[in-house]
Structure formats: C-alpha cells, structure tokens
Amino acid sequence: MEKVIIIRYSEIHLKGKNRGYFERVFHVNLEKSLKGLRHELHRLSGRWLVEKFEAGMEEEIAERISRVFGVHSYSVGLLVGSGMDDIFEGVRRVAPSAGTFKVETHRAYKNYPLTSMEVSAQIGGRLLSERPALQVDVHEPQSTVYIDIRENGRALVFGSFEAGVGGMPVGTSGKGLLMISGGIDSPVAGYMMAKRGMQVELLHFHSYPYTNEGAKQKVIALAEQLSRYTLVTRLTTVSVTHIQEEIHAKCAAELNVTLLRRFMFRIAERFARQNEMKCLVTGESLGQVASQTIEGLTSSNAVVTLPVLRPLIGFDKDEIIERAKKIGTYETSVLPFEDCCTVFLPEFPATRPKLAFIEEEERKLDVEALVEEAMGTAETIEF
C-alpha cells in the first residue's frame, strides 16, 4: 500500500486523434511543476499517478498540481492491490469512523470478476460490520469512499475529488506576448490566455526616472506569481521615457496616452516577431478608461498587423478583481507604484480620437528612431 496522488485531465479527452500530442505536453508540464521534489510520474489510461514521493510531501505536491493548466481534478489516495482484501485495507484507511457514507466503484479493468456494484456492496458491508457507528446513505452521504480498479492488479482508493484549474496545457496554443502594466487587469489577462494553452511571455514599459524602481519590482513580483501557472515566464522591460518626453514636447496634450500606446504596440509587435510570437495580449476592457473606447482601441491596432487578443474586453472591474484575488496577483497589483501611463497624463485625455488627427500629430515625431532607441533599452529576466 502506497500513498499516491491521482491526476485527471480536463479538455484533452475531446482532442480525438491529436490527443497524444496534448497528453505529452501535459506530462511535461506536470514534471515541470514538480521539479525539485522526489517523485515518479506514471500515466494510466486517462489518469496520471504521482508516486514514490517523500512522506509528508503530498500537500506540497497537490498544491503545485492544482496550478497546472489541464488538470480537471486530483485526489490524494492509496495505491493497493486489486484483491478484495487489499482494497478493504485501503478503504479502512480512508473511510470515516461514524456518520453516513457510500462506496462508489469504477472499473477501468473490465475483466475484473466482480461488477462495480458488487464491489461497492461487499466493501460497504464489511465496513458496516467493523464500524457500527456508520450508516449507508447512497443519496446524500456525508462521506464517499471511491474505488478505482485499474489494470495490472492494482486499485486506487481515495475519499475526495479536488478541483484543478482546468483549461488546456500551456504550450499547446502557440506563443503570445502579454503587455503587462503592473495594474490589476493585465496579469489576469495573461492567466486567462495561459489557461487556454498559450505560452505567455511578458513585456513591460517603464518611464524611469519619472516612475521609480518600486514600480519595476512590482511587475517582477507579478511575473513571478504568474510563472506559478505558466511554468516558464520571461519578462522584458523597455524604457519609453524618451518617447513620452518627445510626445509631451511636440504633440497635442490630449493625445499623450493615445500616441504612447501606439508606440507601445509598435515595440511589442517588433519584439514579438523577433521571438516568433503569434499575437499580442492586453488587459484592456471596453470603456474602463479613456484610452479603452472603440476609437482608442482601434487607433492602437492600426499600427500593428499581429492579432491583438483582449480576453477581458467584456469584463467589468469587479469581475477582474475577483479573478485577480483568486489567482493571487491582486495584493501585488494594488501596491501604490505608478506605471508609465500616468506620466504626463493630460487633464482631459481624448476619449474618441480621430485617426487622421492622431496620424497628423504623429508626423511631428521620428517614429522609427524612437522605436529603435526603445528596443535598445530592453532587459530580460527569466523565471
């Protein structure tokens, strides 16, 4: 008898003939999540088992597994022989001593000599004989004991299903670049795209010395928190101080934010193409701030040809905050360090800028030279 952790995947079972590819990536991601811990990871039909880990490490392993995209559920259980006596010994370890219960059996090994109902009935009967304070309730039991009879003379016994994060294994949906600001929204956007299987890398724009070192450290902390889900994260920081100074000096004040965002998108696209990324990702939500009107969003998209994904576009702020708290980024995001968009912020920013006017103002700037100078400031950190 051995303590194990049973892992069940989420949408992978829908993938038909391509399922093998998704299963291989899922396996690699599970191994990455368990790096540094002694263990063995074995695949069963539709299941994975974590075995041979150190005593007392099941909580740490389960906590790591709970953040791996593609995990539908997991259970801490026991690996036993498939004989009825072996199964009953496992059940004795898992079952309660009092209250209502039921036994639920699944047979992956269909040639087992007893049916699922017969196994449940016999094991439940033996448990009742041994523990008179127990009562059977097959409809609303206080506890359920699960038996999963596998191939090769083995069975799994466990007492609960713990929910995983679901989604698809990271790395099965290409690679994208998240423009991360340090606020509440963009980390949630990155999390949501990673949940759909995208490998997400991060790009942050700063305006040092107008913004301080604390703002940069805040983004690094957010990247570290996201890496718990994405498994591998690379953060690149780029200075746009010189761009903001030029815009402030030469262009209409109400377009400061709009023009800056167009530069950000140009730089992001160039960086994405250099690193074979297929799209840009932002945390923008329609109407949330002045630059996130349809006109503002369209003016940003106008300077790039890569797809721009905005997974939060229809979310309100409360929904975004709820998700940020759930994934553990909220407390960092609300630390009081300003990002670059607050530098030279006009009193009345344009909410519905006309593209022709934007382009006219932009002609006052040496766009290519400013972008090249920004690319030269790039610094990269890997987690």
Q: What are the tens digits of pLDDT across the range 76-117?
A: 999 999 999 999 999 999 999 999 999 999 999 999 999 999
- Residue 347 scores a pLDDT above 80: no
- Sign of the torsion angle spanned by Cα atoms 353, 359, 360, 362: positive
Closest CA to 163 of 68, 28, 255, 89: 68
- In contact, 120 and 104? CB cutoff 8 Å: yes
| Structure-derived torsion over alpha carbons of residues 23, 24, 30, 35, reported in degrees to the nearest 10 | 170
DSSP 8-state class, residue 80? E
Q: What is the pLDDT of residue 340?
A: 59
Asked if the domains 2-163 and 175-382 are classified in one and the same CATH topology, the answer is no
Residues 6+ apart with CB under 8 A from 5: 49, 50, 53, 58, 61, 62, 65, 74, 75, 76, 77
Domain limits of the chain?
Answer: 2-163, 175-382
* Coil, helix or strand at residue 76: strand
| pLDDT grade for 350, boundaries at 50, 70 and 90 | confident
- Residue 339 scores a pLDDT above 70: no
- Sign of the torsion angle spanned by Cα atoms 281, 287, 291, 297: positive
| Structure-derived torsion over alpha carbons of residues 126, 130, 136, 140, reported in degrees to the nearest 10 | -110
Q: Quick one: average pLDDT of 216-233? A: 92
Q: Quick one: average pLDDT of 21-41? A: 96
Query: Rg of the chain's alpha carbons, rounded to an integer?
Result: 27
Q: How far lies 371's CA from each of 180, 267, 301, 303, 376, in Å?
A: 18, 6, 16, 12, 9
- Residue 305 scores a pLDDT above 70: yes
Q: What is the pLDDT of residue 273?
A: 97
Q: In this predicted structure, which of 79-93, 110-124, 181-195, 325-339 has the lowest mean pLDDT?
A: 325-339
Q: What are the tens digits of pLDDT across the range 276-295?
A: 999 999 999 998 877 788 98
- Residue 337 scores a pLDDT above 80: no
Q: Quick one: average pLDDT of 305-312? A: 97
User: What percent of the chain has a predicted confidence (pLDDT) above 70?
Assistant: 97
Q: Does domain 175-382 fall into CATH 3.40.50.620?
A: yes
Q: What is the pLDDT of residue 215?
A: 85
Q: In this predicted structure, which of 235-249, 324-338, 358-372 has the lowest mean pLDDT?
A: 324-338
Q: What are the tens digits of pLDDT across the range 231-261?
A: 888 999 999 999 999 999 999 999 999 999 9
Q: Quick one: average pLDDT of 143-154? A: 94
Q: Quick one: average pLDDT of 29-43? A: 96
- Residue 202 scores a pLDDT above 90: yes
- CATH topology for the 2-163 domain: VC0802-like (3.30.2130)
- The residues pairing with 177 across neighbouring beta strands, listed in sequence order, are 201, 280
- Residue 303 scores a pLDDT above 90: yes
* Terminal-residue alpha carbon distance, the chain: 38
> What pTM was computed for the model?
0.90
- In contact, 46 and 148? CB cutoff 8 Å: no
Helices (H), 95-212: 116-130, 185-195
Residue 209: asked if its preceding bond is cis (omega within 30°), the reply is yes
Closest CA to 179 of 81, 249, 260: 260
